[in-house]
Chain A
């Protein structure tokens, strides 16, 4: 009869037991990339497996989840599930997600494969391999879940082409390129810890809750289905950090710097999510400010208290980020409102009900700083003079967002920072971005900055329509104001038919 082997031991046989120290080839040749960052690891055996999932169990669980998920996606398409949306404006969030986030899922898949191949601790390798295939899942299922929307709505149709080219999509793209071009332990810190563990509730959750609140059944089903994957990714993120910190004291300052860097990089990336939450969801989940307080200030605060025993302090620019919670969503919306002719999604004038909500959520800032601007723009649009900014913006060299953020102590003054490096001057939106540049100038001077590239003639031509063609934006369809768009028309037609249908019964 079968003897009982403890689960932990059995899992070790199924993972670490498979590997061996090579002798015909030098281990440093088999694993050439896990030392150059200066991270010291003395004992991979001390690694605690963050989850114990064998491949056969993985196939079983994931296959079951996929059967359910695709049943929902199929019936959603058959029953024209798009009619259940709160409003066609909701699509903006989905466009941002498919063009900005799904390609990152894909990138995560490829680079977790890199980690799984190149870290010499087998426990960590296997965990990274599981995450690699999970992230491929996320990319592929998102494409399938959104495929039906693409048939009826604009701005979704060429998301990978756009991700490689469109100006604001260089924000998420450069974020991830930064992580994958770093060493394996920085990538772990950047993505598994800072992004998936610390900030995930401010990225993934807002999109998925936004879908739930706004009747997007296809995306919300995907979101639920991905939850168990994400919880594995989060536990991996925490385990990696604790493991590295416990292995050697010399690792602490290295990790601290990475946390400082990736916190700020993540915070800047999330300003796009903040805009989405406060401005683009017809039915709001919560304000960006509340989300920041709950998920970063409270939960993140507790986490960093816990990490203090390793000598880790909260991220360097956390105070500035907390300070910005009253403004960034408004500042970013203003950027996109002005440049919506060059974007793959629509923006619109904010109605009174929405303004009242913003005013209540942001009592210290909205009425004072942002409402007057929205009122003015609405008036201009009513006068037939909808505001589009035709000058190309200056971009931050690090986060690549147009310079629209403001001074820490003055929300009415744009924040400019700059540095000279090897005879050229580089510009930054904030102290955080400048700090990141200062540590690795030779990296950030390589950045493919969309506006520079346009001026250098690398983006299809000198005129804005040339550039938009090069982006594969269908002019007058994918871009411009929501008011008067094809999307508004189709939506209103559907809704009008439904009202007639309802009235007849």
Chain B
């Protein structure tokens, strides 16, 4: 059958969903990101209060003290929806796989000085537990957060954290020649080593924060903002003098991730802080509290790894973080 397409009228009767058109102020073709994230969450006419939290509606703006006129004012600069998110991470992960292969083929692990290898085992492998806590915090934000613009990105971040916890597990196995005793040693360090207790206490304390936006600031701005640059930046740099190229290669995922994720974190903080002086003050207060906690938490670890240079390294990271926070409209 030869169909005479020209004779048919395929003028669309509308270009996107009405909720998206309302946000655009006109009916025009929409991005997949917008269709996948605008207004998905129920906002009204909930049937029952949660048995487990009867003071709240199922989704409730009062779950945070931050006040927004419109909880859909946030934009993920990466425009992630499920498909683009997974494709992005599959690509990053393919690069990680190649790095592991390269390390294995060239036997790069044998070039790491034994003393430094011991240090790496101590500072790097326990981070998998920190990532697990970060995963739980991301799920808390996904659960209690308001509006899909926030929560869908938080879901992706949760998957990232689980992925990194597992990647670190894999690294832990490589560091010990695939003997799982290394993971056990790192676990003991996480639970008992004095220089890890600050970080563990910080992680546990963030798990019981009630306000999800505070959880977000504590985890994504403060804790990550101090620990990630220290471990994957400063410690990693120090390792280059000890033949630890292998470690840098295996950690590249985390370095790329931090940059990528910071775009989302910064955009969220910036918009919320710009909304009102009250928001800016509130978020600034959380920032300062949790930054101080994070600085205190990571310092002993920095001393273990860097000796006397530890404190100044932590200070440098703190200054950079403060500058970043100031740039986002916070008072550091």
Interface residues of A (CB under 8 A from B): 2-5, 9, 13-14, 17-20, 22-25, 29-30, 32-33, 36, 54-56, 58-60, 62-64, 66-67, 69-70, 80, 103, 106-107, 109-111, 113-114, 116-118, 126, 129, 132-133, 136-137, 139-141, 143-144, 147, 150-154, 156-161, 163-165, 170, 173-174, 177-178, 180-183, 443-444, 446-448, 453, 472, 490, 493-494, 497-498, 500-502, 504-505
The contact string, 1 if C-beta is below 8 Å from chain A, for chain B 9-24, is: 1101111111100000
A129 & B162 in contact (Cβ 8 Å cutoff): yes
**Among candidates B14, B156, B187, residue contacting A157 with C-beta atoms closer than 8 Å:** B14
Cβ distance B181 to chain A, nearest Cβ, rounded Å: 11
Residues of A within 8 A of B89 (CB): 59, 63
Residues of B within 8 A of A143 (CB): 17, 35-36
- With A63-B90, A150-B14, A160-B40 given, is the CB distance from A133 to B155 under 8 Å? yes
B47 & A173 in contact (Cβ 8 Å cutoff): yes
Mind listing 30 A-B residue pairs with CB under 8 Å?
A3-B177, A9-B180, A14-B169, A18-B128, A36-B51, A56-B167, A60-B94, A62-B90, A64-B90, A110-B41, A132-B142, A132-B158, A136-B82, A136-B155, A140-B82, A140-B83, A144-B35, A150-B16, A158-B18, A174-B47, A443-B51, A446-B47, A447-B47, A448-B45, A472-B18, A494-B8, A497-B8, A501-B8, A502-B2, A505-B1
Does B159 sit at the interface, judged by CB under 8 A? yes
Residues of A within 8 A of B41 (CB): 106, 110, 160
Cβ distance A177 to chain B, nearest Cβ, rounded Å: 4
> CA–CA, A100 to B323, complex, Å?
47
- Closest 6 pairs between A and B when the two form their complex, measured CB to CB: A501-B4, A63-B90, A55-B163, A66-B83, A151-B12, A117-B139
Residues of B within 8 A of A141 (CB): 82-83
Interface residues of B (CB under 8 A from A): 1-5, 7-10, 12-19, 32, 35-37, 39-52, 58-59, 81-83, 86-87, 89-91, 93-94, 96-97, 104, 128-129, 131-132, 135-136, 139-140, 142-143, 148, 151-152, 155-156, 158-159, 162-163, 165-167, 169, 173, 177-180, 183, 187, 190-191, 200-201, 204-205, 207-208
A59 & B173 in contact (Cβ 8 Å cutoff): no
**Among candidates A3, A64, A107, residue contacting B179 with C-beta atoms closer than 8 Å:** A3
Q: Which of B39, B50, B51, B129 has the most CB of A within 10 A?
A: B51
Residues of B within 8 A of A109 (CB): 155
Cβ distance B279 to chain A, nearest Cβ, rounded Å: 24
A147 & B139 in contact (Cβ 8 Å cutoff): no
> CA–CA, A176 to B32, complex, Å?
26
Q: Which of B91, B156, B180 has the most CB of A within 10 A?
A: B180
- With A13-B180, A136-B82, A161-B18 given, is the CB distance from A80 to B40 under 8 Å? no
B48 & A30 in contact (Cβ 8 Å cutoff): no
Extra A-B contacts (11), CB below 8 Å, given A55-B163, A63-B89, A164-B44: A18-B165, A30-B204, A60-B90, A66-B83, A118-B143, A129-B139, A144-B32, A150-B16, A177-B47, A178-B47, A181-B47
Residues of A within 8 A of B50 (CB): 180-181
**Among candidates B37, B42, B131, B136, residue contacting A163 with C-beta atoms closer than 8 Å:** B42
Main DSSP-derived SS at the B contact region:
helix
A59 & B86 in contact (Cβ 8 Å cutoff): yes
Cβ distance B124 to chain A, nearest Cβ, rounded Å: 15
Closest to A444 in B: B48
Cβ distance B208 to chain A, nearest Cβ, rounded Å: 5
- With A59-B93, A129-B162, A141-B82 given, is the CB distance from A117 to B140 under 8 Å? yes
Q: Which of B12, B19, B83, B87 has the most CB of A within 10 A?
A: B83
A107 & B48 in contact (Cβ 8 Å cutoff): no
B132 & A19 in contact (Cβ 8 Å cutoff): yes
Cβ distance A165 to chain B, nearest Cβ, rounded Å: 6
Residues of B within 8 A of A500 (CB): 4, 7
Residues of B within 8 A of A80 (CB): 8, 10
A55 & B52 in contact (Cβ 8 Å cutoff): no
Residues of A within 8 A of B10 (CB): 80, 152
